[in-house]
Amino acid sequence: MLIAMLVSNSAVLKRAVAPDRISAVRRELARQRRFAAVLIDLFPASAHLGDLLTDETVLCRCEEITVGEIRRVVAEGAETLNAVRMVTRAGMGRCQGRMCGAPVAELLARELGQPVEALGQVTPRPPVVPVPLEGLLEEMT
């Protein structure tokens, strides 16, 4: 995300980002992703965690979407991640599904009795970065 923000901000504000800075951020991001993968392998989530979910459990913190809301849209006919996302906005908040994407997919798979892989992928959306008006005005003067 930091890379996207650096690249987006430089394109929007027309300020150059040093290539060595982008390379350093990419290396750090790759290092952190390797570390995250090791943690996931060492400490997998229990298959029984889903039994603890109540309808009041919040799955998407950005959009404040609960397990009950997801169950409701599934009962109304949603069968894909995109359908759940469009109706509930789960995964469309600030984190763009990085925090809630997997739990929402697992809940949907559990509710439908299907493997997660059968649910399809969400349609990616480019991140939108707010730009302060002051920044734009500085560029125009």
pLDDT digits (tens, 9 = 90+) for 74-94: 999 999 999 999 999 998 888
Strand partners for 65: 60
Q: State yes or no: pLDDT of 103 exceeds 60.
A: yes
pLDDT tens by residue, 15-53: 777 888 889 999 999 999 999 889 888 887 666 777 888
Q: Do the domain assignments include residue 56?
A: yes
What is 122-134 written as a DSSP string? Answer: PPP-PPP----HH
In whole angstroms, what separates CA 13 from the centre of its chain? 25
Do 94 and 66 share a domain, yes or no?
Answer: yes
Give 3-state DSSP helix, strand, coil % of the chain, rounded to 5: 55, 5, 40
Please tell me the total count of domains within the chain.
Answer: 2
**60 and 97 co-located in one domain:** yes
- Amino acid occupying residue 75: A
What range does the domain containing 35 cover? 1-44
Cβ neighbours for 10, distance < 8 A, ≥ 6 positions apart: 16, 17
pLDDT value of position 17? 79
